[in-house]
Structure 1
C-alpha cells in the first residue's frame, strides 16, 4: 500500500481528526500559501503557533509535520510525486478558496478523499424538505441538525507511520501579531481551555450575554483553525442536559448553519444574500474611521472596538452592537466593517464573520431584516454597571455606575474633564438612542 498525503488545512489537531484515521503510511503536510500572508497578522501568529504545536504532537507519535511554502496545489502534487502517493486526504471545506483548491487537485488526476472534521455535520448532510441545497432559516435547520446521525468521535492515534527520508521543512519564525493581549494558538492550549470551559458550561445560558462577566468559551479561534473538534465539543454539550449546555449547543449549530449557507452561496463576503436590502448605504470615511478607532462617542460601541484591537477577539454581544451601530445607525455599508473584523479577529472566517455581518445588516439570513440594536439599551441590559465599558475605555473609568453609558448627559464641567469625544457629528441627535 502506497503512502497517502494527509493535507492539513483547518484541522490542526490530532484528537478526533479523521485525516489521521486508517491504515498505512501517512505524510502529514501543511502548505503555507504566501497569498494569504498579509490578510491578518493576528491569525498568522495563531496559525504558526498551532502548526508548531501540531508538529510536536506528530513527532511524539513517530511522524512529523511536513512544511512547504508556495501554491498549495503545486506543492502537494510535488510531494505526492516524491513519495509516490496517489491519494490526497483532506477535510471538506466550503469557501471559494477551498473549493478551488479541491477542484485543482482533482484536475491533477490524483485521488482526493474528502473527510469530515471542520464542522459537526458536513454541509448538505441535512437538507430542507421540498428541495433546495441549504436552509435559509436557522430554527428548522437546528431541529434537523440536532436529530441527525452524527459520526463518532475518534481517538487520537498512539502512533503514526510515516515514510522515511522526507525532509520536513522549516516552520518560519512565528510572526508578530497586532493585538498585544491575543491568546496563544495550538491544540495543547485549546484542550486546556476546553477542560476549564466544560466546568462552566451549565452556567452559559444565564451568563453568556453578561459582557462584564465574560462567561463565554473563548474557543472560537481554536474551532476556526481546527485545534479543537467541533464534533467533540458538540457531543460534550449534547450529553449535558443543563440549560447552559443546550444554549451552547445552539451556538455551535449556528456555526454549522453558516457553513452550509456558504457552501450554497460562496460569495457571502462580498455579495448580499438579499440584494433589495443592499442599497442606500452612506459612505463616510470619517465616521468609519472613528468606528474603527473606538472613538464614536458611544461607550459600549467604543469598548467593543477597542477590545477587538487589544485581544483579536470581541464578546459576541459586542459584535452585534458594533456591527448594528455601523450599519443601522450610521448607515454605512457592511463590507468595510466585515473587512475590519477580518483584519483583527483570531476567529475570523468566511462563513461566520460574513454570515453574522449580513444578518446584522439585514442583507442575510434574518427573518427580521429591519431589526435595530439600540446601543444604550443594550449597554444597560448587558453591562448593567458599566464594568465592560470601563475595562476597555479608560477615559471613563472614574464615571460611576450607569452614567458611563451616556456621558453626554453628564454636567458640562465633568464632560470636559473626560477627554472622551461626544457622539459623531453625523449622528448627534440624541433621539436616535431612544429608538428601538
Structure 2
C-alpha cells in the first residue's frame, strides 16, 4: 500500500484541511503527524498558555481522526529528523505541509526538501493558514503591499478556493507509533482564564458568534466593556478554524457586521504577506525612524509597572491585567497599551511584543510583531506619529468605566467616569484605594516623544 504523511503545523483541524485531503488523495494510507518542535522551544515560543491550548488542540484533532478510523501521531524533537524517521518507518512517498510565512517556516521547508530529496516528495500547500496566499497579490513593481487599504481592495476581489468537507475515513498504517498526547493539566504556569482549545470548541464558538454576535459587530467591536468581539483568534492561530471557511461563513451572514469582521480577517492576511516578504520585520524596524528608545533604570521600572498593570492609568492597567489572567486582550486595548509603552513611555516596541508573545494564546508572529510596529510607527501605519491618549481612549471606549472596574478591583467602588482619573479624587478616598499615581505625565511624555521624533507636539487621538 502507498503511504503519505500529512504534517500538521498551524492547521490543527479536519474541516477544510487541504493538507490532509491531498495526502488522502495521494495514497492508500496516511500518517497524520504533528512534531512538538524543539526549535520552537529553543526560540522561547513554547510558553505555558499556548502549550496548554495546544494540548487541547491535539486532543481534539486526535479524537476527530479516531472517529474517522485514524489517529494522530505525535513525535518530539527536531522537525526534519522526526519526519525522516516517520518516512522510513512508513515507507512514505510524499509529505504534505501547509506553507508558512515566517523565516523559520521557510527554512524548515528548505531543510525538509533537502533531507527528503531522492526518497520522498515534499508537497507544500497554500491557502491553508491564510485566505489569500502571501505573494499572490502584489502591486506593480513590488513584492508585497505596504499599505492595507489598496491590499484590501484587491483581497476582496480575489477568488478564494472552495471550502473542503472533512474526510469520512482516514486509514493510518498500524506500524507507525507516536508518543502519548500532551495533557493540559500537566502544564504549569497557565493563566487562569485561558479557554478550552481545539477544533470542536472553535467550531462551537464560531457557530455561536455567527448566530448571536456578528450582527452588531460593526457598532460594538471597540467597546471595551461590551466584550463584543468573536474571541476566535486563538482558534485561527492554531488552525482549529480555517480562515477560508471563516470568511465564507461570515459573508453568508451578510450586513455591515459581517463586512467589518471579514476586514479583520483581511488584516491578518495583510500582515502575513508583509512578514513573508520581509521576514526580518519580526525583529527589526520595517521602516526605521531612528529611534533611540529609553533603556535607563527609570524606563525599566516603568516597563515593569506596565507589565504588572500598575501604571496609574486605569484603562491601561485593566488591559494588562486582562492579558495576564486570560492570555487574551481586546484589540482596542492592544492598541492603546502598545501606544502607551512605545510613545508615552518611549520604550522599544520589541519589549512589548515579547511580553505579549509570552502570554497571548493567539501569539502569532506576523500579527503580533507587525501590529506592534504599526502602533510604534516603525511599521505600515500611514500616520506613524499618532499617539493614543489613554484618557481619551478610556472616555471613548469605556465611558462608564465598567471595563476598568472589572479588571482593577482597587477601583471597583469608584463611580462613573471618575474611575479613569482616580488621582483627582479626594485625598482621603485615594488613600483607601491602594492604587498608584500615574508613573508619567502625559503632557511631558508627549513633548518627549515629539523631541525624539523631531516633531511639533500634537494632541493624542
User: Using the alignment, how far apart are the partners of 1:89 and 1:278 within structure 2?
Assistant: 43
Deviations 1:79-101, CA, capped at 9 Å, x for gaps:
11111112110001111111111
1:2 Cα offset (Å): 2.1
- Counterpart selection for 1:36 from 28, 37, 40: 40
- Counterpart selection for 1:100 from 75, 89, 107: 107
- Secondary structure in 2 matching 1:285: helix
1:278 Cα offset (Å): 4.3
User: Using the alignment, how far apart are the partners of 1:381 and 1:134 within structure 2?
Assistant: 34
User: Using the alignment, how far apart are the partners of 2:66 and 2:232 within structure 1?
Assistant: 25
The answer as to 2:238 corresponding to 1:231 is no
TM-score (norm 1): 0.97
The answer as to 2:241 corresponding to 1:217 is no
User: Using the alignment, how far apart are the partners of 1:178 and 1:162 within structure 2?
Assistant: 33
The residue aligned with 2:255 is 242
The residue aligned with 1:319 is 334
1:171 Cα offset (Å): 1.7
The residue aligned with 1:121 is 132
User: Using the alignment, how far apart are the partners of 1:180 and 1:205 within structure 2?
Assistant: 30
Deviations 1:238-271, CA, capped at 9 Å, x for gaps:
2333111000010000000000000001122210
The answer as to 2:432 corresponding to 1:417 is yes
How many residues are treated as equivalent by the alignment?
A: 432
The answer as to 2:18 corresponding to 1:18 is yes
Deviations 1:140-163, CA, capped at 9 Å, x for gaps:
000101100100000011111222
The answer as to 2:355 corresponding to 1:340 is yes
Deviates further, 171-180 or 108-117: 171-180
User: Using the alignment, how far apart are the partners of 2:290 and 2:142 within structure 1?
Assistant: 24
Deviations 1:51-87, CA, capped at 9 Å, x for gaps:
1110111111011111111001100011111111121
Work out whether residues 121 and 150 of structure 1, in 8 Å CA contact, stay in contact via their aligned partners in 2.
yes
User: Using the alignment, how far apart are the partners of 2:141 and 2:71 within structure 1?
Assistant: 45
User: Using the alignment, how far apart are the partners of 1:176 and 1:34 within structure 2?
Assistant: 18
Work out whether residues 8 and 90 of structure 1, in 8 Å CA contact, stay in contact via their aligned partners in 2.
yes
The answer as to 2:66 corresponding to 1:59 is yes
User: Using the alignment, how far apart are the partners of 1:358 and 1:378 within structure 2?
Assistant: 20
The residue aligned with 2:214 is 201
The residue aligned with 1:154 is 164
Work out whether residues 134 and 260 of structure 1, in 8 Å CA contact, stay in contact via their aligned partners in 2.
yes
- Counterpart selection for 1:88 from 92, 95, 103: 95
Work out whether residues 45 and 177 of structure 1, in 8 Å CA contact, stay in contact via their aligned partners in 2.
no
- Secondary structure in 2 matching 1:239: helix
- Counterpart selection for 1:301 from 281, 291, 316: 316
The answer as to 2:76 corresponding to 1:69 is yes
Q: How does 1:277-296 map to 2 (within 5 A)?
A: 277-283=289-295, 284-296=299-311
User: Using the alignment, how far apart are the partners of 2:290 and 2:282 within structure 1?
Assistant: 13
The answer as to 2:194 corresponding to 1:187 is no
Work out whether residues 319 and 329 of structure 2, in 8 Å CA contact, stay in contact via their aligned partners in 1.
yes
1:431 Cα offset (Å): 6.8
User: Using the alignment, how far apart are the partners of 1:435 and 1:177 within structure 2?
Assistant: 41
Work out whether residues 178 and 309 of structure 1, in 8 Å CA contact, stay in contact via their aligned partners in 2.
no
- Secondary structure in 1 matching 2:435: coil
The residue aligned with 1:9 is 9
Work out whether residues 268 and 350 of structure 1, in 8 Å CA contact, stay in contact via their aligned partners in 2.
no
1:429 Cα offset (Å): 5.4
Deviations 1:24-61, CA, capped at 9 Å, x for gaps:
22110000123434531100111111011101111110
Deviations 1:367-422, CA, capped at 9 Å, x for gaps:
11011101101000000100000000000000000000011111111111110000
User: Using the alignment, how far apart are the partners of 1:176 and 1:183 within structure 2?
Assistant: 15
TM-score (norm 2): 0.91
Gaps of at least 5 residues in structure 2 are 447-457
- Secondary structure in 1 matching 2:279: coil
User: Using the alignment, how far apart are the partners of 1:268 and 1:224 within structure 2?
Assistant: 19
User: Using the alignment, how far apart are the partners of 1:93 and 1:388 within structure 2?
Assistant: 36
- Secondary structure in 2 matching 1:27: strand
User: Using the alignment, how far apart are the partners of 1:236 and 1:245 within structure 2?
Assistant: 9
User: Using the alignment, how far apart are the partners of 1:141 and 1:71 within structure 2?
Assistant: 36
The residue aligned with 1:407 is 422
- Counterpart selection for 2:173 from 142, 153, 163: 163
User: Using the alignment, how far apart are the partners of 1:294 and 1:48 within structure 2?
Assistant: 29
Work out whether residues 210 and 253 of structure 2, in 8 Å CA contact, stay in contact via their aligned partners in 1.
no
User: Using the alignment, how far apart are the partners of 1:208 and 1:327 within structure 2?
Assistant: 24
